[in-house]
Each structure stands twice: as C-alpha cells, then as structure tokens.
Amino acid sequence: MQITIRMPDHHFEQLERIAAQMGLKKSDITRIAIKKFIEEQTIDKEKTPFAKARNLLGIVESGIADLGKNHRAHLIRKLKES
C-alpha cells in the first residue's frame, strides 16, 4: 500500500538528513514512525483512566501527614471552616 503526505519543508529536510545519517530510506523512517504512533494509540486505548493517570496520583504534597488515613476528619474540619 502506498501513502502520500505533505509536510513543511524544514521537516522534509530534517527527514532527509536523518535518513542519510542512519543509512535508511525516508520511507523506512516514515514506516517506523507510523508504526510507533499506531502502537502508542492502541496501548492508550486499552488503558483505563486510572492507568493513564497513575503517574500523577499522589504527587501533590499537602503538608498534612495523615491525610490518607484521616481524610474524612480533615474534610469535615475544612467544611466547618468555610
């Protein structure tokens, strides 16, 4: 199967330079890039929302040492302060 793409001149020039450095054809690099993109999209579609955000959970420092254990008590206190 064949595909035609349009890209800015500076991207095409970079592609040519990289292909020459690696000893590959521009089409080889394009196939590699498309394959990687498809794999990433397939993996992302299979991940749950939790799995997608896992690296973000627990990274915020609240300064409250027992927030995880006593979150209800802290929440009630915060609501009463409001």
Q: What is the pLDDT of residue 9?
A: 97
Q: What is the pLDDT of residue 28?
A: 94
Q: Which residues have a Cβ under 8 Å from the Cβ of 48 and sit 6 or more positions away?
A: none
Q: What is the pLDDT of residue 46?
A: 63
Mean pLDDT split into 10-residue runs, the chain, 82 residues: 94 96 95 90 72 70 78 87 80
The C-alpha atoms of residue 51 and residue 56 are separated, in whole angstroms, by: 10
Give the closest residue to 4 by CA, choosing from 27, 28, 35, 38: 27
Q: What is the pLDDT of residue 75?
A: 87
The domain limits of the chain are: 9-81
